[in-house]
Amino acid sequence: MKYTEKDLSGKTVLITGGAGFIGSNLAFYFQENHPDTKVVVLDLFRSGEKLSNGNLKSFGHFKNLLGFRGEIISGDINDKDLLLDLETKYRFDYIFHEAAISDTTAQEQDLMIKTNVNAFKDLLDLAVAHGANMIYASSAATYGNAESPQRVGREAPNNVYGFSKLSMDHLAREYMKDADISIVGLRYFNVYGPREYFKNTTASMVLQFGHQILAGKNPRLFEGSDKILRDFIYVEDIIQANIKAMHPNASGVYNVGTGKARSFQDIVDILQRELGTSLACEYIPNPYVGSYQFHTEADISESIEGLGYRPAYEMEDGIKSYVAEIRRIYETEVKK
C-alpha cells in the first residue's frame, strides 16, 4: 500500500538498521512504491559478537534484504569516520534511523548509551548538515510501568534501553528548537510481522507461538494470559506511520500502536483459527510477576492529529496477513 503521493523521484533516503526488521520493511516499501528514489541501507550486519546476556549484538541479516536493489553499506553508527563519509559523499533528503541496541535485557549500559544516544546526536548533525528530515525509532519502553493508556509526557523507563530511547527523545526536542528540518520520533509498541525472524528470541510472540503450533506443540502461556494485555501492532502500520512522518511539519514524538490492548490468549486463539489447529494450551506460572507489564495501550490521539496516522490492521487482520509468512519461515528456516 502506498502511504504518500509525494513525488520522491531523485530523492535520496538513508535507512540505518536497514537489514533489521523494520528497516528492511522500509527499504522494500520505497523500492516497491517509489522506484525512482535512491535508497541507501546502512547496517551492522550480524557477526558472532554477543552481549553478556548471550544474545547477538546485531540482528541485521542479509536474508531480510533478498531482492533489494539499492545500495548497502556494512558499518557501525558509532564509527565517526563512516558518518563523515556519509556526510561528504552523499546528499540525503530523508533519514530513517532504525539502528539501535534494541535488546531490552542488555546489561551493557555504556554500549547502550553510546549507540542509542551519542550516535543519534551524530546522525542528527548529519541530518542538519544535509537539510534532511529525520524520522527515528523511539520506543514504548520509555513508559516502563506507566499507567495505561500510555501518553507522551508520562514516561517511567525501568531499563537502560527505555532510558536510552527517552534520552533520544529529549535530544531530538532540543534540535527541534533550532534545526530547520523536521524531526519525528515514533514510539513503537509491540510490533510483529514479516522479516522479524532473525531477531531470534526477541521476535514477537505472534511468530514464536505460530512456530510452536506448526511444530505440533501445545502453546505455552503464562497463567492468566487472557488478562495480560499488550498493544500489538502489525509492521505495515509501523511503515504507514514512518511514511506519514515524512511531512515537513510533523516534528514531534508520537505513539505508534493500535490504541487497543489485546491478550496473549487472543494471539494463540487467532493463530489456531488461521492455522486450522486446536491444540490445548498449557499454562505455566509467570516468574516475572512484579517486574512484568500487564497492560500496555498507546494513546494515539496525537498521532492521528499530528501525522494523520490511523491503524489499518486489527490483530485478526495482521495475523491473517502474516500467517503465510509464518508458515514459509517455519518450512525454510526452522525445520531445516
Domain residues for 145?
A: 12-334
Query: What's the domain count of the chain?
Result: 1
**Which residues lie below 8 Å from residue 157, measured CB to CB, with a gap of 6+?**
141, 142, 143, 144, 163, 165, 166
The CATH number given to whatever domain includes residue 222 is 3.40.50.720
Q: Which of 94, 161, 188, 313 is catalytic?
A: 161
Asked whether residue 31 is domain-assigned, the answer is yes
Active site residue 199: yes
CA distances for 152 relative to 104, 148, 149, 157, angstroms: 20, 11, 10, 12
Identify whether 6 is part of a domain: no
- Structural domain contains residue 179: yes
Looking at the domain assignment, is residue 2 inside a domain? no
**Of 207, 319, 314, the residue nearest 273 (C-alpha):** 319
The Cα angle at residue 252 between residues 160 and 32, in degrees rounded to 5: 90
Residue 288 belongs to a domain = yes
Q: Which of 199, 244, 313, 330 is an active site residue?
A: 199
Q: What is the pTM for the complete model shown? A: 0.96
Q: Decide if 3 is inside a domain.
A: no
Instruction: Look at residue 1 and tell me if it is in a domain.
Output: no
Catalytic (active site) residue 335: no
Is residue 122 situated within a structural domain?
yes
Give dist(CA 134, CA 147) in Å, integer. Answer: 29
Residue-by-residue pLDDT tens, the chain, 336 positions: 777 767 899 999 999 999 999 999 999 999 999 999 999 999 999 998 998 988 888 999 999 999 999 999 999 999 999 999 999 999 999 999 999 999 888 899 999 999 999 999 999 999 999 999 999 999 999 999 899 999 999 999 999 999 999 999 999 999 999 999 999 999 999 999 999 999 999 999 999 999 999 999 999 999 999 989 999 999 999 999 999 999 998 999 999 999 999 999 999 999 999 999 999 999 999 887 766 678 999 999 999 999 999 999 999 999 999 999 999 999 999 987
